[in-house]
Amino acid sequence: MTAKPPRARTRDHHTTERRVHIGTVTVTPVVQLHYRVDPLRFFPDLDLAAIDEDAWFWRPPYCEDGMLVIDMGAFLVRTPGRTLLVDAGIGNGKRRPNPLFDDRDDDWLAALHRAGVTPEEIDTVVFTHLHVDHVGFATRFDGAAWVPAFPNARYLTTAAELAHWTGAAAAGDRARLGDYLTDSVLPLRDAGVLDLVEPDLRICEEVRLRPAPGHTPGNVCVEVSSHGGRAVFAGDMVHHALQLAFPERSTDFCVDACGASEARRELLRDIADQDVLLFPAHFPQSAPGRVVTDPAGGYRYEVVEGEPL
């Protein structure tokens, strides 16, 4: 069966803008666009006929017209002393093989302003991993070259992650996704603002990294703890709600499918049925939620609405 072509909708007045509090930390999802993709593009061995069309993960908001809902953007994280960005979307004005990613012109920076910050105020950008849809707004074109978009920030990734994406093993993926390293990652290194950090780094009192290799070799989660509250930014470890119901399922974009599956199961065992917020990178409206055990197997997702901006 041939997968249907993806489609996208820009953020508009229907795009939710909310913030969530974890103790003294405030998190604001900042969506860039609303992406829709054929299930077979992410899960090529999925038996669509075997899926219960009434299953919670196969209905809106997680699926629309037989397409997976994969929203894209970033998360603004404000602690009492730090202003961080977790991942950086697809970006604007960049050449990409995917026509829906190519030369975009979204009002993402305006959304960031509405969330209460300017690019100059962000002091840390954390990449959960270096896929094309997580690094785009890290740089901007100044008329002559791509330069860091957040001039006062340090950008964090792991040595294993950068080595993989700049090495021969990733050549096929770079061809498929575009040479986004040239415009979105390497300019950070050239500017001396890209830090290769340990995958369990404590960034500040409230924020630390959590190793989670599998989806990519140097993949990390970002964990927030404050005044008894706890949250985990999972990046693409849980790409779609289907993977909560079936944690063993990895996507076609995982470098190590078995490793990604094990990392996902470990994370879900740790946070399920507890007062811990999960922030998946691509859930509808980038909405956080709590993971609860499903008596029928796997897990379910209870969305936390947060407060309007």
Q: Is 1 within the bounds of a domain?
A: no
Q: How many helices (H) and strands (E) does the chain have?
A: 8, 18
Backbone phi and psi for residue 225, each to the nearest 5 degrees, phi listed first: -135, 130
> CA dist 244 to 58, 109, 270, 272, 302, Å?
12, 31, 13, 10, 11
Q: 124 in helix, strand or coil? A: strand
Domain region containing 249: 7-308
List, in sequence order, the alpha helices (H) in the chain: 39-42, 108-114, 159-165, 171-177, 180-184, 186-190, 242-245, 257-271
Dihedrals phi, psi of 228, to nearest 5 degrees: 90, -10
Short-list 220, 211, 233, 228, CA closest to 277: 233
Total domains in the chain come to 1
Cross-strand partners of 68: 37, 63
How many beta carbons lie within 10 A of that of residue 145, not counting itself?
Answer: 12
Q: Supply the pLDDT for residue 176.
A: 86
Residue 3 pLDDT: 72
Q: Judge whether 253 and 192 are in contact, CB under 8 Å.
A: no
Residue 2 lies in a domain: no
Q: Which pLDDT belongs to residue 162?
A: 98
CB-based burial of residue 149 (10 Å sphere; 0-12 exposed, 13-18 middle, 19+ buried)? buried
Instruction: Give residue 188's pLDDT.
Output: 98
Residue ranges with strand state E in 4-80:
7-10, 18-22, 25-37, 63-64, 67-78
- What pLDDT score does 13 carry? 85
- Using CA atoms, how far residue 277 sits from 223, 271, 288, 305, in Å, is 10, 8, 6, 11
Dihedral of CA 21/22/26/29: which sign?
Answer: negative
173 token code pair? 């993926």
Q: Are 101 and 6 in contact (CB under 8 A)?
A: no
Query: Average pLDDT of each block of 10 consecutive residues along the chain (309 residues)?
Result: 83 92 98 96 94 95 96 98 98 96 96 96 98 98 97 98 96 89 98 98 98 97 97 97 97 96 98 98 97 96 95
| Predicted local confidence at residue 1, as pLDDT | 56
Peptide bond into 295 cis (omega under 30): no
CA distance 209 to 250: 22
**CATH number of domain containing 89:** 3.60.15.10
Give residue 4's pLDDT.
Answer: 84
